[in-house]
Structure 1
């Protein structure tokens, strides 16, 4: 079953994001969508919505890379040879994880359709039919954040991720304000996006210790693995890594050095589901828990993450998958089922999300 065609399209969609230690939020974002077709007419779809400040990719350039570099590397290949496809993408051009993630998702979608199986079965598991999702708070005034927590709880979310890293005093006050208003009925995780110094991170962890955070995500700069090791050894709070985890090799090194309790899994960092499942295997072996994060993607991108979560019980924390963080949709695409703080894992073959007819018609790779 040979790959006969690859299509790519960049689309700008309304999509409010969160204020973080990186800077201000945005009201529109560019998303990359791809389709991969085989000679028998089977078509798989994938999404790779980048975080430019995070990985350096932007969707318009991703569309060109997909068409001019990655499509030629895939055309004529066996669509069932996932490892071969991943290696072909690696040889064609390094990095570009979000673009690769979109194409790999499309291949899983295609394979699932051919086999009549949902993608999580191809990934090796079916341990969940629903996935609990967390809500999120940007860096905003405390009174605004508290109102947001109340809204998230009313929508069924039981975990709140708060962005920190710009002002330790404000961050500590907010943690205690949430605990005072909501008690321990809501789980709290804090994400500094590498915005703290070692001293600031230690202070924050120490001053919120009684609040029992679920975990403290990327407190230090991505390169400071030794700092993460020392902070984790303090025993003040579990440590999660995000910006420090961009590859299979990163995962191995972090696990070997004991730098994290939690891996934040983002397909756009790792190059897609195939490599992500290998990172999950390292986590399984090392006793590290995982959280799937894809906050600004449409139903297509979110579905890929749901299938990954359903493939392993190492995903012990609520995922961050669109709902409760942002809301973005492609007209004509059916939304995923969300109720009581949980998203339903699609049971249809492949990823379980179809794109509108003619969506890729203007652009062929």
Structure 2
């Protein structure tokens, strides 16, 4: 073991390679905070999180002013203790997206450091349940695309061996959503999973109406039908819908997942490693879902989630949406529609540091270092680079 000696914080902005539109918004940006943690022996771990275009500077500020100084002098292997202490240090702003995203950047860096020091890939270090996982695609299912484009993309991905495709819904009328789904079903047949995602656009009455229509089309799950903070409405929908209800990308703590599971309000858990606060709580959410015989199919971040879904036994599919292509030299290992986790030690993400440093968002780059004495009080040397 070795104590943390230095923390580097920065952020890059990654515009999506394709236009992404759902029922409530259009994605024009992926702010990506990155944290590099160096221990006293010179080992380095890199972690990250993301926003979809707002809040990134607040995440950086929380990292720079509150979280990173508390890391200096801590034993890097004490990941659970560090996560708990940082959560307590931010208890006035938790539970919430900004705090969870900042915690995730730190926690994923610590897990990367741990795995690198041990010489093990993350998927083995965190459980090693399986060596590959089927993929489903979302990248060709955006709401602005015409039905023919949806059908062509889904058929292509089926031909590549993918297990399914997810389509955005939320057109003004049920009839329009029904027609789009029917066109895709005609193109791919019955032996291909189709999922839908409403991105919290409906109220309970409308979600119930759409669920009846979705059952007719053989939809595999109905994702984020309503605002995520309304557990009771999801419980009603889950009890009455013939289509499984999927939630999780907009939940920010283990306790929120507990509420959904104990009330029978979720049939699929979609914990997002960035939004729940890192690998440490993600694994807890996955194992909690396993106790309820509920699968975990995480949201986004496929480059990191591939290792986590292969670490646990109850993760049947991985979502395909590339995020990091512009700043990495590694790519998801896909063979016959299945994703294979990296075997390299750590997260297995090969960062392109020259590109990253050329794309740093102004004012987001900070280096923090100090000794044990300062760390106890949450202080340390801070300098913008």
Please report the TM-score for the alignment, with normalisation by the length of structure 1: 0.89
Partner residue in 1 for 2:309: 309
CA apart distance, 1:235: 4.2
Contact 1:133 / 1:321 at 8 angstroms: preserved in 2? Answer: yes
Contact 1:7 / 1:360 at 8 angstroms: preserved in 2? Answer: no
CA apart distance, 1:66: 1.6
- CA–CA separation in structure 2 for the residues paired with 1:279 and 1:11: 29
CA apart distance, 1:106: 0.7
Greater mean deviation of Cα atoms: 137-146 or 42-51:
137-146
Partner residue in 2 for 1:34: 35
- CA–CA separation in structure 1 for the residues paired with 2:270 and 2:353: 34
CA apart distance, 1:60: 3.2
Contact 2:4 / 2:75 at 8 angstroms: preserved in 1? Answer: yes
Cα deviations across residues 257-304 of structure 1 (Å, max 9, x unaligned)? 11111101101210011001111111011111110222xx5xxxx443
Contact 1:293 / 1:321 at 8 angstroms: preserved in 2? Answer: no
Please report the TM-score for the alignment, with normalisation by the length of structure 2: 0.84
- CA–CA separation in structure 2 for the residues paired with 1:348 and 1:172: 44
Identify unmatched segments of 5+ residues in structure 1. Answer: none
What SS does structure 2 have at the residue aligned with 1:46? strand
Identify unmatched segments of 5+ residues in structure 2. Answer: 359-364, 369-385
- Structure with max Cα Rg: 2
Of 288, 293, 306 in structure 2, the residue corresponding to residue 287 of structure 1 is 293
Contact 1:216 / 1:239 at 8 angstroms: preserved in 2? Answer: yes
Partner residue in 2 for 1:126: 128
Is residue 89 of structure 2 the alignment partner of residue 92 of structure 1? yes
- CA–CA separation in structure 1 for the residues paired with 2:19 and 2:107: 25
Contact 1:165 / 1:195 at 8 angstroms: preserved in 2? Answer: yes
**Closer, same or farther in 2 for the Cα pair 1:330/1:180, shift >3 Å?**
closer
- CA–CA separation in structure 2 for the residues paired with 1:328 and 1:228: 33
- CA–CA separation in structure 2 for the residues paired with 1:304 and 1:364: 24
Is residue 246 of structure 2 the alignment partner of residue 247 of structure 1? no
Cα deviations across residues 141-169 of structure 1 (Å, max 9, x unaligned)? 22232233233334432311111124332
**Closer, same or farther in 2 for the Cα pair 1:203/1:46, shift >3 Å?**
same
Of 50, 59, 62 in structure 2, the residue corresponding to residue 62 of structure 1 is 59
Partner residue in 2 for 1:143: 148
Is residue 336 of structure 2 the alignment partner of residue 340 of structure 1? yes
CA apart distance, 1:176: 1.7
CA apart distance, 1:314: 0.8
**Closer, same or farther in 2 for the Cα pair 1:332/1:211, shift >3 Å?**
closer
How large is the RMSD of aligned CA atoms in angstroms? 2.1
Partner residue in 1 for 2:283: 277
